[in-house]
Chains A and B, each alone.
Chain A
Amino acid sequence: MNSTLRTRLLLAISITIVVVLCLAQSAQYALMRRQLYSEFDQLLGAKVRTLAVMMQQDRETIDIPFQQHPMQEFARAVRPEYYQVWHQNGDVLVRSRRLNQGDLLRLDGDMVVPMVRDIVLPDGRRGRAAGIRFRPPPKGLSLQTDTTAREISATEDDDDDLEDRDDFDFSRYAHVTLVVARDTQDVEASLSHLMWLLTATGVIATGSILGILALLVTRNLNPLRSLARQISQLNEQHLHQQIRLPDAPGELQPVVERLNALMIRLEAAFQREKTFTADVAHELRTPLAGIRSTLEVGLSRHRTADSYRASMQKCLRISQETEAIIATLLSLSRIEAGQSAPDDDIVDLSSLLRHAWLPFAERADIRQLQTKWYLQNGLFPRTDQARLQVAISNLLDNATSYVDDGGRIEIRTCLSEDGTQISVANTGCFLNEEQLNRVFDRFWRGNAARSETGAHCGLGLALTRRIVEFLDGSIRVSSVRGWFTAVISLPAPEPGLVRETRQGLTGPDQEPMPVGAPAPLMETARRRDS
């Protein structure tokens, strides 16, 4: 059942209260009933004993004084009480007049604890009867106190020789059974009154408790409702709004805090997406503006065929640049979406670097760059070759683009505790702390002009970082005394895969490099002359 928390709480609490109250009141009723009947029985018992004390016997007759002078309660017409006396031989010695010829239940209780039973009185009323069987004392010897009675009853249970203790031969005297009965109407009335009282108080108590509970539960659930209302008002435009529950109970505080933290993260994510979309629009608009203005100015008047050709070539180049930007964006978003798992290749790092360098060799020549290679032998990290090549190409591209003319580039690989490290450093780059923190932002280009090759739309390092993270590695950058260094750390290779090879490293243009046998690092410095 999809009921509200309030309903569930109220239902559970009311059922508990009703059950507990019913049980308590039933117990109370039962106790009271027992108490009342016990008092009733004591009174009845006392009466039986009183009557019994009045009886005496001699050898032939049993003197029953209340027979001649019946007491008022046995004689009255309304709600009379009854008595009956049996001789031990079963003869009814006497019965109260109101019994007519009817019999009471014969109950042979003893003097101390009369036997008491529920009976139906001859006139149909419900009542109780108490009976004792005793031996009325001979005339002149009264049967008196409780202690005497107890003595007598005790002697009755004992051996006969003890009975002769006081020179009486009790065995010569007969036993009689006296039963007195009276109705329980008063007790029943009291009980019924009590029943009503208990029921009424129970109902009133239950009702008022439930009312107060409903009020309390509703009031205490208010923060929940307020929370639900605030959550329902949230949408992506209002993510900056925080949920406020000043009167929230302790249990809700963590929920509110987590929700608010989630909202902050969501807002940041939305903001990133918005910025990214704006950046993409900007980056795609700019080349579009280039194509359009080139074409429009070209068409604005008659020109020579060469001039048209130049314009068309320019437009073609811009289109290719735009294509490159879109391809980069796509690979970035594919990696961010985590569409495909990385391959698990054993990569020959030196050979990979050599291949990645080829497209930039010409640029390095033109800009008269001095390139130094420090490659450690035998590095075969286990990673995704194609993606790693893209990441390394980006670093080489950056280095060859942002280095100063005639500057230096250093490429090194080594195996450290953190794993395989690939570092690309170039001179001519002075970035401050704030700029360093931004180099991984998408579309951030620092102070560099938008290049005409289009490769530097400010996505390179962002993409590189995504790729390296995708490969479970990390990348860090530093800028010290004009050297900009980017270091990729790949997870440590399995020990078996680190092999010492003497295969030899080759430089960017595949000339054999001298192998520095004792040294772990190998240096190859080449001066590029244009």
Chain B
Amino acid sequence: MRILVVEDYAPVRDAVAQGLREAGFAVDDVGDGRDGLWHATKNDYDVIILDLMLPGVPGLEILRQLRASQSDARVLILTARDAVEDRVEGLNAGADDYLIKPFAFEELLARVQVLCRRRYNRSDPEIRLDNLVINTTTQQVSRDGVAISLTRREYSLLLFLAMRAGQVVSRTEIWENLYEFNADAQSNVIDVYIRYLRQKLERVDWTPLIHTRRGFGYVLQAATNAGP
């Protein structure tokens, strides 16, 4: 899950970005409206956390341009402006959620997770696939009742595949969603993570879940298809 944080106040920006990264999200953070607008329109984010009073380009302007460009990124406005008319204006401009500073980080996290699920048309915080259960709230993964311990990156990869279960996703797509904008990892690192994930998720008596589509990428699904 890839998230953009646009916030000019560094302490809030840093804390939110750190907290979200630790929760398994790939986070880009910018402190300026112009950078925010560039990132928001050039990259595909699942959720954008947007401050309203920004230097350069105001938050609402970013939101309008984002919606005008047909982006379906979910937008959460995070601001100190608490008046009803401000909230209504923000939501009417196309925001999906509105949170007022100061806020509880847990609440922000929960709202971001809701927005992520909504982006993939899911409402249940638990994703089930065959006997695999992913709890997106507690970030616990189990298969056939056996808890599986994953690293942050492995979990992010699994979640990304699970959200698109049944769809083939390319390495580039995975890489873009796992790594932040200025990460220096290379996309073949994805193959390494897929191997780690397979080792942890699959046993001889369990059906394989992660399938390789040569030339295309990977797909997470329960039934084995005799595909190419």
Q: Which residues of A contact B (CB under 8 A)?
A: 278, 281-283, 285-294, 296-298, 300-301, 314, 318, 445-450, 452
Contacts and interface: CB of A to CB of B under 8 A. Distances in A.
A300 B19 contact: yes
B103 A293 contact: yes
Interface stretch (B5-13, B172-180, B181-189): B5-13
Given A448-B55, A449-B31, A294 B80 contact: no
Given A289-B103, A450-B8, 18 more contacts: A278-B83, A282-B80, A282-B81, A285-B80, A286-B12, A286-B80, A286-B101, A287-B9, A288-B101, A289-B80, A292-B104, A293-B102, A293-B103, A296-B19, A297-B22, A300-B22, A314-B11, A447-B55
A297 B12 CA distance: 10
B19 A297 contact: yes
Nearest to A443: B53
Given A282-B80, A282-B81, A447-B56, A293 B105 contact: yes
B56 A296 contact: no
B205 interface: no
A282 B100 CA distance: 10
Contacts of A283: 80
Contacts of B19: 293, 296-297, 300
Interface string B67-102: 000000000000011110000000000000000111
Contacts of B16: 293, 297
B105 A450 contact: no
B34 to A, nearest CB: 9
A302 to B, nearest CB: 11
A338 B96 CA distance: 47
A373 B101 CA distance: 43
Contacts of A318: 11
A297 B18 contact: yes
A449 B102 contact: no
B144 interface: no
Nearest to B19: A297
A449 B15 contact: no
Contacts of A286: 9, 12, 80, 101
Nearest to B31: A449
Contacts of B46: none
B154 interface: no
- Looking at chain A's contact residues, the main secondary structure is helix
B102 A452 contact: no
B210 to A, nearest CB: 28
Contacts of A448: 55
The 7 A-B pairs with the shortest beta carbon distances in the complex, nearest first, are: A290-B11, A289-B101, A293-B15, A289-B102, A297-B19, A296-B105, A285-B80
Interface in B101-142: 101-106, 108
A450 B55 CA distance: 8
A491 B53 CA distance: 38
B11 A287 contact: yes
Contacts of B9: 286-287, 289-290, 450
28 contacts: A278-B81, A282-B81, A285-B80, A285-B100, A285-B101, A285-B102, A286-B9, A286-B12, A286-B80, A287-B11, A289-B12, A289-B101, A289-B102, A289-B103, A290-B15, A292-B102, A293-B15, A294-B15, A296-B106, A300-B19, A300-B22, A300-B105, A318-B11, A447-B56, A448-B55, A449-B55, A450-B55, A452-B11
Contacts of A446: 55
B217 to A, nearest CB: 32
A282 B105 CA distance: 19
A445 B22 CA distance: 33
A429 to B, nearest CB: 13
A365 B132 CA distance: 59
Contacts of B103: 289, 292-293
A286 B13 CA distance: 11
B14 interface: yes
Nearest to A446: B55
Nearest to A448: B55
Contacts of A291: 11, 102
B28 interface: no
Contacts of A296: 15, 19, 104-106
A449 B8 contact: yes
A442 to B, nearest CB: 14
Nearest to B23: A300
A285 B78 CA distance: 12
A452 B81 contact: no
A293 B12 contact: yes
Contacts of A294: 11, 14-15
Contacts of A278: 81, 83
B29 interface: no
Contact of A288 (B18, B82, B102): B102
Contacts of A301: 22
A220 B81 CA distance: 52
A301 B11 CA distance: 18
Contacts of A300: 19, 22, 105
A446 B58 CA distance: 11
Contacts of A292: 102-105
Interface in B8-64: 8-12, 14-16, 18-19, 22, 31-32, 53, 55-56
Given A285-B80, A286-B80, A297-B19, A445 B55 contact: yes
Contacts of B18: 297
Which of A282, A445, A446, A449 has the largest number of chain B CB atoms within 10 A?
A449
Interface in B206-222: none
Contact of B80 (A281, A314, A449): A281
B7 to A, nearest CB: 9
B188 to A, nearest CB: 30
A458 to B, nearest CB: 10
A314 to B, nearest CB: 6
Contacts of A289: 9, 12, 80, 101-103
B79 to A, nearest CB: 8
